[in-house]
Amino acid sequence: MPRNVPLPSECAELDGLMRRHGDRARFRTLTRVDVGTRSLPLVAVEVGSDDERAPTMIVVGGVHGLERIGARVVLSYLRTVLEALRWDEPLRRSLEHARMLFVPVVNPGGIALGRRSNPRGVDLMRNAPTADSWESTPLVGGHRISARLPWYRGDEPGEVEPETRALLDVIGHHAFESERALSIDVHSGFGLQDRLWFPYARTRQPLPNLAELGHLFERFDATHPNHVYRVEPQAQAYTISGDLWDHLYDEYRRAQPSGVFLPLTLEMGSWTWVRKNLRQLTSREGPFNPKAPHRERRIRRRHFTLLDFLWRCVCSPAPWHAWTPQERAEAHQRAFARWYA
């Protein structure tokens, strides 16, 4: 491992936000990750109500060190929220009863080293202590063969990396008491289209909250009919073992059987950027990040409509609980026909 690695610009950006807005949000260092001579903080930022039962939106980025643009999208939204808090009365009021939790840079060591995994070679998105797939899973879905290969899950089942532990603990602490919670984890990968994935990742079976999830996206389609996303179960692309969101979803359900937690992953389609700039394939930052500054700015703001929509859902009780059993069964059937039939 190199001794001198540059400070990731995303860590510097987060530090700048803490200096400027430290009085408006609760910044907390969850753990530190050592890379060469550097010790990089893994930081969570909590905004709004500190009531443990408050509805919660969780926004996560930078799980994979090669997908830096994901961290930058999260940082951009965090900056907008913190600035708006100076003057935006409706936002301030909504935050009296609900909360946002940001973990913008989950894998600072991977970003510093320019690799997908953490510094120990573990793919954090394959590192959950449970959630093994029982369906046939390709190499990309996680393996324990060698840390030299991508998608490595770690040596021992049940053992988790410090970054994974920090993320699981902070979400457990802030969301497992909430009666409703939503999360969005921002990645950047192959393909031309921006995709929204939902659990399960380990199996092609539908998740127990398919009705609520289908209903959420029916509302999204109706409210934003020109949105850009393709919505699908993660496992439709490929199944994964050790997916953090599968694990957190199951744990939440154990802790809060009558509540609802909907974890989403935004997989930004980076091929459009590659197509427009082939040099990106050989970029030092890897192929999954836009190279041109104007393109980066466009992507930094592109998902604000989605994030605002998710926040309004978190703040609005009616869509989550105003169900008769009949309505819920019908919503389940529609969602099943949309994604699983």
User: Based on CB atoms, which residue is closest to Zn ion, 174 or 187?
Assistant: 187
- Please report where in the chains the tokens 């936000």 appear, as a residue: 17
H-helix or E-strand spanning residue 188: strand 180-189
Taking the least distance from each CB to Zn ion, the nearer of 71 and 310 is 71
Residue least distant from Zn ion (Cβ): 187
Least spacing, CB of residue 122 vs Zn ion, in Å: 14
Instruction: Answer yes or no whether residue 64 interacts with Zn ion by CB under 5 A.
Output: yes
Q: How far apart are CA 51 and CA 98, in angstroms?
A: 8
Residue choice 21, 99, 115, 187 for contact with Zn ion (CB under 5 A)? 187
Q: How far is the CB of 186 from Zn ion (least distance, A)?
A: 9
Work out the burial of residue 133: count CB atoms within 10 Å of its CB; fewer than 13 is exposed, 13-18 middle, 19 or more buried: buried
180 binds Zn ion (CB under 5 A): no
Tell me the C-alpha distance between 109 and 103, whole Å: 14
Binding letters toward Zn ion, positions 17-56, x by CB under 5 A = ----------------------------------------
CB of 209 vs Zn ion, minimal distance in Å:
23
Residue 200 C-alpha from the chain's centroid: 14
- The residues, ordered by sequence, that sit 6+ positions from 320 with a Cβ below 8 Å of its Cβ are 180, 212, 260, 313
Stretch that binds Zn ion, among 72-80, 126-134, 136-144, 181-189 (CB under 5 A): 181-189
247 binds Zn ion (CB under 5 A): no
126 binds Zn ion (CB under 5 A): no
Q: Does 115 bind Zn ion (CB under 5 A)?
A: no
Report the alpha-carbon distance of residue 153 to residue 243 in Å, rounded: 10
Helix (H) or strand (E) run with residue 232 in it: strand 230-233
Interface with Zn ion by CB under 5 A: which residues?
A: 64, 67, 187
